[in-house]
Each structure stands twice: as structure tokens, then as C-alpha cells.
Amino acid sequence: MSKIIKEVQESLINLKRVKPLVHCITNYITANDCANAILAVGGSPAMADAIEEVEQMATQAQALVLNLGTIANELVDAMIKAGKAANKAGVPVVFDPVGVGATNYRKESTFRLLKEVKFSVIRGNMAEIKVLCGMESNSKGVDSVEDVKEDAAKDIARELAKKLNTVVAITGVIDYISDGERVITIRNGNEMLTRVTGTGCMTTALIGAYLGGGSSPLHCAVAGVATMGMVGEIAFDNLKENQGSGSFRVSLIDGMYNLKEADFQNVGKINE
């Protein structure tokens, strides 16, 4: 068994032992799915975004998840307040810069957050991560239409992780996760994941749940991304005739609930 497989298995053990409170400031489109994903793997979600309470909630939690999906000025202010409080309390923070390249407002808000808050993990698709690198990117709304060769993708993940002193997780057909030194690739997943809204947001929430268990940010990022890819494969294989994206969505949560340590070895396509 490889070193990284053992590390992600330990992350799942820690998550289920701690049962962390995961504070999410996320978008209204996927909040319910993110909460259910956290519950399914063994965490406890708190979906609090009122600016009057986010600091207190963030310091009570074991992890904080910030998602840029449906933003407004007050929500960005709330994210910064929560992020600063979490940083001061030693609570790990994961950031999802949804659609950062789609509008100037999203880009300005993202770089404001990067300036004000220290993130343990940043997860995005290739188009989003390229924007954070200051590179030209191709997107359609909040979706990436990038096609980057594997070696170049690894370099992008590694260099941004070094630049921001964080773990960077790039999700797509192949996933790339780096802490600036190590680079992990994951080849799990199914095309049906693109037919259900919020699977990226749920992946970020899963990373937050693993972070709440106390494992290292790199291990938690790999565990969260691999979890979504693996349950995506399992959910698709379990579809019956005439079942589609609605049944698939429910089956994703079932897969998270039934996730076992052995799945990372038996189903996971995780390599370093």
C-alpha cells in the first residue's frame, strides 16, 4: 500500500473519530447538498452566514469552508470576518473561488479574500486556478473549458501552492493536489458528475470535513477530492435502467455515507 493511500485512510479515521463541526459560508444553490455531504461522511455542518454571528461560529468550529458561488458585498465581508477569526483561533480554512474569472467583481472579491485570510486549502477547477496564478483562462460561466497537459497542470498546482503557502487542489478529468512539494494525481470520477449541480462545492465541503478531523491539509485535500471521484464512479455503476441525474445525486450521498477506509485502496486511483 502506498504512503498516500495510508495517509488518506488515516484522514477518514480521524474525521469519523472527531465528528467535526464544519462552518460553511457557501452559496444558496448547493448549501443543502454541502450540508448533507458533511453529514454523510461523519461531520456536523453549520450553514451560518449572518455577519453578526460568523466570527463566533467560526471559532467554535473545527473547520471553515468559504465558497464564492453566489456572492454579495455583505457575504464577502462575512467571509473575511469568519476567516480572520478562524485564523486567530487556529481553525483551518478551505476556499472555493467559484467562477473567479467570470466577472471582475468575483476576481476582485477573491483577491481581497486571499489578501485578508490564510487558507489551508484552495480548491478550484483549472480555469479558476489559472486566474489565481495570473494566467489567461477559458471558462463558461463558472465552468472550466481548459485543456492543460499533465506536466503543465502539475507545475501550476505546485507553483501556486508555493506562492500562497497553501495546498492547491485542481479538480477535473484528472485531479492535481500539491502542497508546493508533493504532487498527487487522482483519476477517479465519472462524466455524470458534471450533470449534477454542486459536485465541486460538495468536494470543497468534504475537504472541510476532513480538515476538521485534524489531519494535514494535503492529506485532507486528497481525501476530499478522491471521495467525490470514487463515490461518483460507484453511484454511476449503481444506476438502474431509466434512472438519471436525480437518482445519481441521491446515490452520491449514499456513497459518502457508506465510504470505508478500504475504498481508497480498492477503488481509489491515487498516485504520487
Name the residue ranges covered by the structural domains of the chain.
Answer: 3-271
- Determine contact, residues 207/123, Cβ cutoff 8 Å: yes
Note the pLDDT of residue 71: 86
**pLDDT tens track for 165-184:** 999 999 999 999 999 999 99
How confident is the model over 213-241, as a mean pLDDT? 96
Nearest to 193 by CA among 140, 153, 150, 251: 251
Q: Give 209's strand partners.
A: none
CATH 3.40.1190.20 matches 3-271: yes
Binding-site positions: 47, 123, 171, 198
Which residue has cell 465541486? 200
Nearest to 256 by CA among 239, 232, 220: 232
Note the pLDDT of residue 144: 47
**pLDDT tens track for 98-124:** 989 889 999 999 999 999 999 999 999
User: ∠ at Cα 176 (132, 20), nearest 5°?
Assistant: 85
Binding-site positions for ATP: 123, 171
Share of the chain above pLDDT 70, in %: 96
Mean per-residue pLDDT over the chain, rounded: 93
Query: CB under 8 Å to 124, separation ≥6 — which residues?
Result: 96, 97, 98, 100, 132, 169, 170, 171, 200
**pLDDT tens track for 232-264:** 999 999 999 889 999 999 999 999 999 999 999
Instruction: Locate 99 and state its grid cell.
Output: 467562477
Binding-site positions for substrate: 47, 198
pLDDT(223) > 70: yes
Instruction: Locate 112 and state its grid cell.
Output: 481581497
